[in-house]
């Protein structure tokens, strides 16, 4: 490992960057250096600009991926190399505001029927039943399950923040069944080959993809889709968005609003102004009926 890479990683660790973020930043900066076959400390802003265009035009990467590289380059030059540059020197492509994929309860129920292995099923049920990120689900420790208060303690979630999430009776029953069958040793609920290590997020992502394909569902469902579905179902049940924000571990309510604003049930239940003028009041709750001529 070069001294620059070592310092780059240490600077991220000092700021409590998530492990996944550190790996992503190192990956993008390494590819950047490989593209020019030079150390990043010998490159300048023009090189960053050229590489951004290469990622967009030649490799056809998404705006989100290019933005991640830009964040990595900005941190490298402005923090690790202490260059006198500002955020304005690192322009980003505009990221399209696409709606998240939100599977309905019936689709989630069908997906779970095809998930291979009780360990994968239990971990993915945490994503849907408690709104956990896939990284939080795989790293959950047995001691963080508080069955007396029906709570899950999420330690060092995104942004190194701790929080609590709900532990429903159905989820608790599923986790107890899994525990009786698997008897996991060590601190983690879902241990890997070593009791002192947990399974990787990739294991759950592959299991979810396999189940989605076998179920033949039209919507692509990922572990993060299950987290979206958790928020959407709570919104449909009338749970306050501030409570949903806490359960999801969002820093800003605007982030939660993006999850919950696309609730299909809420949108479908909205009465159109056309119904108000064409349909009698007694029929507005039954919009499937055709108005009389």
Q: Which residue out of 156, 158, 284, 287 is catalytically annotated?
A: 158
Q: Which residue out of 133, 178, 188, 198 is catalytically annotated?
A: 133
188 annotated active-site = no
259 annotated active-site = yes
- How many of the other CB atoms lie within 10 Å of CB of 252? 9
286 annotated active-site = no
227 annotated active-site = yes
60 annotated active-site = no
Q: Which residue out of 110, 121, 198, 227 is catalytically annotated?
A: 227
250 annotated active-site = yes
Annotated catalytic residues are: 133, 158, 224, 227, 250, 259
């Amino acid at each position: 490992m070069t001294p620059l890479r070592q310092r780059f990683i240490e600077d991220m660790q000092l700021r409590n960057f998530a492990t996944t973020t550190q790996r992503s930043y190192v990956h993008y900066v390494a590819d950047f250096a490989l593209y020019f076959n030079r150390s990043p400390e010998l490159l300048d802003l023009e090189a960053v600009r050229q590489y951004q265009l290469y990622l967009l035009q030649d490799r056809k990467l998404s705006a989100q991926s290019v933005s991640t590289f830009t964040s990595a380059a900005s941190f490298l030059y402005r923090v690790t190399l202490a260059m006198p540059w500002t955020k304005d020197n690192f322009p980003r492509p505009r990221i399209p505001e696409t709606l998240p994929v939100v599977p309905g309860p019936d689709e989630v129920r069908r997906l779970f029927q095809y998930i291979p292995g009780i360990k994968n099923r239990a971990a993915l049920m945490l994503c849907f039943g408690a709104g956990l990120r896939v990284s939080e689900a795989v790293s959950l420790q047995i001691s963080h399950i508080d069955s007396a208060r029906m709570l899950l303690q999420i330690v060092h979630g995104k942004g190194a923040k701790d929080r609590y999430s709900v532990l429903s009776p159905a989820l608790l029953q599923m986790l107890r069944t899994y525990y009786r069958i698997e008897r996991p040793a060590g601190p983690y609920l879902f241990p890997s080959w070593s009791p002192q290590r947990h399974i990787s997020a990739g294991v759950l992502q592959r299991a979810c993809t396999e189940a989605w394909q076998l179920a033949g569902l039209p919507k692509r469902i990922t572990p993060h889709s299950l987290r979206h579905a958790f928020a959407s179902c709570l919104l449909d049940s009338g749970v306050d968005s501030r409570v949903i924000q806490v359960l999801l571990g969002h820093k800003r309510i605007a982030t939660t609003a993006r999850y919950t604003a696309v609730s299909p049930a809420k949108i479908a239940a909205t009465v159109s102004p056309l119904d108000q003028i064409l349909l009698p009041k007694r029929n507005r709750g039954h919009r499937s009926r055709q108005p009389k001529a």
